[in-house]
Amino acid sequence: MRPLKLIVCILLTITFLNFWQSCKKGPEDPFFSIHSRLARVTGDWNITEYRVNGKDSLRVVPPGDSLTFIGACGEETDKKVINYEFVWSFDKTGFFQEKLNVDTTLIFDIVNNTPICEDSTHIDSSTIITIKEWNFSSGVGSLKNKEQLYILDNETKQVLLYDIIELRNNEMKLLRDTIDPVSNQSSQKTYTLSRIK
């Protein structure tokens, strides 16, 4: 009877270790999750951090759009600030929607304000909604199954591939390496997403 218990214990340990290996795909994934990877991805996500080569890309001040000069009211600094707000929605059937809100703020800062020459701010907002499809990639080569996800634009047939660095129930981290086809410059894009409750 004792050898049978030992064999059952060994088989349960091997089964648990195999199950643990299948749960943890990304380098920062949790040790164990009761939710499947599909259940953890599906839902609405707010991109809380987006970096291109380590630089914040949710709030951008274009370098060529900041100008200091002497105007009719004296020294003035004009600046453009662009804020991006992304909401990504993943459906379990493969439906993907990106809602992008872009707020462009023009700031006119006059050093010596007077009743006639005051600082001013102008905001222009726009919303762009894009519909695509998404899915996990299959394990190819050294990659594990569902270690990456891709987003497909059916109109252009463009595919965007993301490495899943971390996938928790309320947080997701993605990484995307790209090469600009015109300049041949490579860039690394990192995304941190928080689930919208």
All structural domains of the chain with their residue ranges: 2-195
Look-up of token digits 């990106």: 98
Question: pLDDT exceeding 70 applies to what percent of the chain?
Answer: 82
Query: Which one, of 165, 161, 158, lies nearest residue 193 by Cα?
Result: 165
pTM for the whole thing?
0.76
- Residue 71 neighbours by CB under 8 Å, 6+ apart: 110
In CATH, 2-195 is 1.10.357: no
Which two structure tokens, joined as six digits, stand for 50?
Answer: 């987006």
Q: How many CA atoms lie within 13 A of 115 on its CB side?
A: 0
Residue 108 CB-density burial (10 A; 0-12 exposed, 13-18 middle, 19+ buried): middle
Which pLDDT tens digit goes with each residue over 41-71?
999 999 999 999 999 999 998 887 778 888 8
Q: Quick one: average pLDDT of 151-170?
A: 92
Reported as a single tens digit per residue, the pLDDT across 92-146 is 999 999 999 999 999 988 888 888 888 889 999 999 999 999 998 877 666 677 7
Measured in whole angstroms, the distance separating CA 67 from the mean position of its chain's CA atoms is 31
**In Å, what is the CA distance from 76 to each residue of 8, 68, 80, 120?**
79, 6, 13, 11
Name the 3-class secondary structure at 23: helix
Residue 79 CA to residue 75 CA, distance in Å, equals: 13
Q: What is the pLDDT of residue 186?
A: 94
Dist. CA 93–CA 134, nearest whole Å: 9
Contacts of 7 (CB under 8 A, 6+ apart): none
